[in-house]
Amino acid sequence: MRKPNVLFLCTGNSARSQMGEALLRAYAGEHFDVYSAGLEPKSDILPVVRQVMGEIGLNMEGQHPKSVNEYLGKVTFAYTITVCGGAEEKCPLVFLSMGKHMFWPFEDPATIQGAPEEVLQKVRAIRDEMAKKIQFWLREQGIEPANLVEPETKDPL
């Protein structure tokens, strides 16, 4: 039986959509094939995003920003989840009209200002908020999310 495809979509594919992809794959990868993309992909995933995902045991090695155009006409998505207002407004209609479309807006880690520890705390909060949203959605589907490691929030020595 073929697994449904899920696309997490944002503007740059350097933070939120990458986090969503990694989280859903970790929680329920046996139930879904998970993708992420951006309308205007950046050159790399934000280092702070890689850091906070690593804290919960999710190594994002191999993940990189991708253009939504890579999937046009090639992949049919059962679910398209836009995680930012920019992607929601500019998303190609083909993605919004296939399967189910959901809009889950989260703050953009790329725009967070402040001291490094403040930025880190805010990105952790976004990660945790996304994790809760995905877990809730999975339970609505009758799927119990797999357990992840507890976040390690201490600074390395």
Cα separation, 33 vs 24, whole angstroms? 9
Q: What is the CA angle 79-80-83, rounded to 5?
A: 135
Residue 81's beta-bridge partner residues? Answer: 8, 102
Distance of CA 70 to the CA centre of its chain: 17
Catalytic residue positions? 10, 84, 91
Cα separation, 138 vs 145, whole angstroms? 7
